[in-house]
Structure 1
Amino acid sequence: MAIVKSKLLKQLKKNYPNFLHKDLKIFTNIILTEIKRALRRGDGVELRNFGTFRVKTQKPSIRRNPKSGEKVAVPEKKVISWKMSKDMFKKINNEE
């Protein structure tokens, strides 16, 4: 299950009832915008106890269209990679 921004805002409002919904929305938008800007510049983003986001360059390659089987040339492109922190790994695997 994926989480969408509206569900994230609902959870934040539930956890922090003293904050106004509009303030939480502004705060969330600022954080996501700054992450996007940093990645667009090519910088890495580290969120302690969560993980790191980095931009990697994927080399051009020849791939196959799974439907038709024909070869398709895929140009070089940038992709975002995420590596979870050790703390996140432990939480996910119930190792605390």
Structure 2
Amino acid sequence: MAIVKSKLLKQLSQNYPNFLKKDLEKFTDIILNEIKRSLRRGDGVELRNFGTFRVKTQKASIKRNPKTGEKVAVPEKKVISWKMSKEMFKKINNEE
């Protein structure tokens, strides 16, 4: 199940009732925009006890369209990769 921004804001407002909803929305916008800007510059982003985001270059290749079997040239592109931290891995796998 993916989390959308509205659900994240709802959860934050429940956990922190003293903050105004519009302030929480501004706060999350600032954080997400800074992450986007850093990745756009090619910098990595590390969120302690969560994971790291990095930009990697995926080489150009020839793929196959599964529906028609036709070969398709895919150009080089940048992709975002995420690696979870050891703490996150332990929490997900109940290893504490």
Q: Same fold (TM over 0.5)?
A: yes
Matched residue SS, 2:69: coil
**1:21 positional shift:** 0.1
**1:65 positional shift:** 0.5
1:1-96 matches, cutoff 5 A: 1-96=1-96
**1:66 positional shift:** 0.8
Structure 1 CA distance for aligned equivalents of residues 67 and 29 of structure 2: 38
**1:12 positional shift:** 0.2
Which structure 1 segments of 5+ residues have no match? none
**After TM superposition, what 4+ stretches of structure 1 lie above 4 angstroms from structure 2?**
none
Q: Supply the AA of the counterpart residue of 1:80.
A: I
**1:2 positional shift:** 0.4
Structure 1 CA distance for aligned equivalents of residues 69 and 18 of structure 2: 56
Percent of aligned pairs with the same residue? 88
| Alpha-carbon displacement from aligned partner over 1:19-40 (angstroms, at most 9, x marks no partner) | 0000000000000000000000
Q: Supply the AA of the counterpart residue of 1:4.
A: V
If the length of structure 2 is used for normalisation, what is the TM-score?
0.99
Between the two proteins, the alignment pairs up a number of residues equal to 96
Structure 2 CA distance for aligned equivalents of residues 7 and 55 of structure 1: 27
Q: Supply the AA of the counterpart residue of 1:76.
A: E
